[in-house]
Copies of this chain bind each other. A is one copy, B any other.
Amino acid sequence: MTLPAIGIDLGGTELRAGIVDPSGKVLARRQVPTDAHGGPDAVIGQMLGLIGALDGAGGVSGLGIASPGPLDPIAGICIAPPTLHGWRDVPLAAILAQRTGLPTRLENDANAAALGEWRAGAGRGLQHLVYVTVSTGLGGGVIADGRLLHGRRGMAGEIGHMSMVDNGPPCPCGGRGCWEALASGTALGQAATLAATLAAAGGAATRLRLPLTARDVTEAARAGDTLALALLHQEAVWLGRGFANLLHLYSPERIIVGGGVSAALDLMLPDILAAMHTAAQPAYHGIDVVPAALGGDAGLIGAASLMWPPHSPPGLSA
C-alpha cells in the first residue's frame, strides 16, 4: 500500500502544505503568506512550521516541493526564484530532508502542476499530455511516454518561450515573438488596453475601461461586449496555433489548460480547435483541449506525487 505524502507549494505570495493520499485527495492542509523578503532561512522555518501543524504528518512516505524556477530537480536546488528575495542556489531538498528525516524531492511549479493533473486530475490514465498554464506568464509541463519530460537540468517544456512570430512583440525573457508574449494573460490585457483606447478614441461602444486585465476581458465577453469577444477570438487563435505546435513537438493525447485565462476556455474553445485543426497535420487532428481539474491544488498534489511509485511504463523504451 502506498502511504500518503506531504506536498509543499512554495509560491511568491502563499506557502501551502498538505498531506495527499495516492488518489490525489488532500487529507489535511495548512497555508501562510510566504515571507518572500525574509530569505531562505525564514521560509524554510515556515515550511517546518506548516509540516508540524499537519495532522497525520507522522505516517507519510516523503516530502515533495513545488517551487518557482529556475531550479535543478535532480540536485534539488533552487537556483534563483525571481519572486523570493535572497534565494540563490539553495539546496532546498537536502535541507528539508535533513530537518525532517524524510525522503525529499523538488520540482518546478509548472511541472508539478502537470504531474498533479496527470496523476489525479484531467490527465489521469494517459501516457502523453501537455499541461499549459496561461496567467501572468505562459508555461507548462510535458508528460511523454508515461514520465515527466525533464531534459538537461530539468529545463525542457519551457513552452512559453517557443518563438512563433518573426520580429514579434518583446517577451519578458528578452526574446521576441515568444508564445508567452502573444498569448499570456498579460499579453491579452495589453491588447485589450490598446484596443479599448482606440475604440474610445473612435467613439465605439465597449464596456472595457482602462487599464485592463485578462479578467476584465473575460467578464466583458460574458456580458456580450463585441470588442471583448474579438479580443478573446484573437487570444484563442494564438492558443490554438501554439497547441498545434505542441502536437507536432510532443504528440500528447490531450492538452490540459490551467491558469487564470483558462476561466474563459469555454468561450474560446471553438476558435482554439479551429485554429489547431488548420495548423496541425491530419494525423494530429481530434486531440482534446480540456480545462485543468485540480485548480490551485495542482502544484500541491503534483509535489506530493513525486513520492508516489512511478506510473506504469509505456509500451516502448529505447
**A residues with CB within 8 A of B:** 70, 73-74, 107, 115, 127-128, 144-145, 147-159, 161-166, 168, 173-176, 241, 244-245, 248-253, 279-281, 283-284, 287, 305-306, 310, 314-318
Which of B153, B164, B241, B245 is A283 in contact with, Cβ under 8 Å?
B153
Q: Is the CB of A161 within 8 A of B248?
A: yes
B contact residues around A279 at 8 Å (CB): 163, 175-176
Q: Is the CB of B151 within 8 A of A251?
A: yes
- In angstroms, Cα B252 to Cα A148, docked, is 15
Q: Is the CB of B318 within 8 A of A115?
A: yes
Closest B residue to A168 using CB positions: B166
Q: Is the CB of B155 within 8 A of A284?
A: yes
Q: Is the CB of A250 within 8 A of B115?
A: no
A283 in contact with B155 given A165-B166, A166-B165 (CB within 8 Å) = yes
Q: Would you list the 5 A-B pairs with minimal beta carbon distance, nearest first?
A: A151-B251, A158-B248, A156-B251, A155-B251, A161-B248
Q: Is the CB of A316 within 8 A of B252?
A: no
A144 in contact with B151 given A162-B245, A166-B165 (CB within 8 Å) = yes
- In angstroms, Cα B245 to Cα A155, docked, is 12
Which of B144, B175, B310 is A281 in contact with, Cβ under 8 Å?
B175
Q: Is the CB of B145 within 8 A of A128?
A: no
B contact residues around A152 at 8 Å (CB): 127-128, 251-253, 287
Pairs across A and B, CB under 8 Å, 18 listed? A73-B316, A127-B152, A128-B156, A144-B149, A145-B150, A147-B318, A150-B316, A151-B250, A152-B287, A153-B283, A154-B251, A155-B251, A155-B284, A157-B249, A158-B248, A163-B245, A174-B281, A175-B280
- In angstroms, Cα B289 to Cα A256, docked, is 33
Seed contacts A159-B249, A163-B164; 6 additional CB < 8 Å A-B pairs: A73-B316, A128-B152, A147-B318, A154-B251, A158-B248, A175-B280
Q: Is the CB of A151 within 8 A of B115?
A: no
- In angstroms, Cα B151 to Cα A300, docked, is 26
- In angstroms, Cα B175 to Cα A283, docked, is 13
B contact residues around A173 at 8 Å (CB): 281
- In angstroms, Cα B128 to Cα A165, docked, is 27
B contact residues around A166 at 8 Å (CB): 164-166, 168
Q: Is the CB of A249 within 8 A of B150?
A: no
B contact residues around A155 at 8 Å (CB): 248, 251, 283-284
